[in-house]
Amino acid sequence: MMANLEQIFEKVESIDGKVDELLTWKAVVEVQCKAHRQQTDEVRTTIYGDEKNNVGIKTKVQNLLNCKKQITKQRDFWLGVLRNILSYGAVALGAWLLFIYKTVL
């Protein structure tokens, strides 16, 4: 019985160092995973925003695209107005030149 107890103590002592190494490794892996999760959460918050009504990059880009559509509509309208003014001006200039030509001759 005593021999069995000594063999058990020898086995436990030989395994003790390996268990310490495994526990240390596990702690390091858990710390790295926690840091990775925090970084992932920060990136997710930056891109999509969070529950505290902070908007993310995706929402900001969508707002900018919507503003661009509105600006494009306004620009097209004013370019159309300018195009009409220039065409009417060219017709008026031509008519005025014809009027001058007829009055001179």
pTM, whole model, 2 decimals? 0.47
pLDDT of 14 strictly over 80: no
Contact 73, 81 (CB under 8 A): no
- Name the burial class of residue 56, with classes exposed (0-12), middle (13-18) and buried (19+) by CB atoms within 10 angstroms of its CB: middle
- The model's pLDDT over 16-31, given as tens digits with 9 standing for 90+, comes to 778 888 888 889 999 9
| Number of alpha carbons in the 13 Å side-chain half-sphere of residue 25 | 6
Largest CA distance in the chain: 140
- The model's pLDDT over 49-101, given as tens digits with 9 standing for 90+, comes to 887 777 788 888 888 888 888 888 888 999 999 999 999 999 999 999 999 99
* Structure tokens that stand for 103 in this block: 């009055």
